[in-house]
Structure 1
Amino acid sequence: MGLISLVWGILALLWMVVAFIPLLGWGNWFVIPFAACGALIAAIGLLFTHPANRGRAKAGLLLNVGVIVVGVVRLSLGGGLF
């Protein structure tokens, strides 16, 4: 689960970078739920993984949460939330 969430987070990060391009900001509407699913997978991975092997799940969770935060800030600055 940790590896899946980490790869999911990397894909979300790449998608977020593309959404920074002008006129492609609408991609944030899709990257936020995508990263939320990755964060959920990481949280499940943290619950069911031995404490010594939680590194990838923690990294995936932080990466996905970071993408969600940046995506929400980007939408709020661009006027996409209101």
Structure 2
Amino acid sequence: MLNLISLIVGVVTVPVMLVALIPLLGWLNYLVIPMAIVGLVLGVLSDSNTGRNLNIVVLVIGAIRLSLGGFIF
């Protein structure tokens, strides 16, 4: 059950992350990263790895994009 919730959080977070890749919308990563962390925690608590892996990918891409923008954009 926790894996399903983690997947849902990840699937909701992916479109927001894709929008945050657009220049001048990088501030959305401040929303993406906490959402991905919540999904990651739920994925770690579950038996399956799918939700955890999805949220790890989203978290890494969001963190890289935020650091490339100088933590501003």
Whether these two folds match at TM > 0.5 is yes
| 1:69 maps to 2:60 | yes
Q: Which residue of 2 aligns with 1:78?
A: 69
Aligned length: 71
Higher helix share: 1
Return the TM-score normalized by structure 1. 0.80
- TM-align CA RMSD: 1.2
Using the TM superposition, give the Cα deviation of residue 64 of structure 1 relative to its aligned residue in structure 2, in angstroms: 0.4
Report what 1:8 is aligned to: 9
Structure 2 unmatched ranges of 5 or more? none
Which consecutive unaligned segments of at least 5 residues does structure 1 have? Answer: 47-53
**Partners of 2:69 and 2:23 in 1: how far apart?**
10
- Indicate the percent of aligned positions where both proteins have the same amino acid: 45
Report which of the two structures shows the higher radius of gyration computed on alpha carbons: 1
| TM-score, structure 2 normalization | 0.89
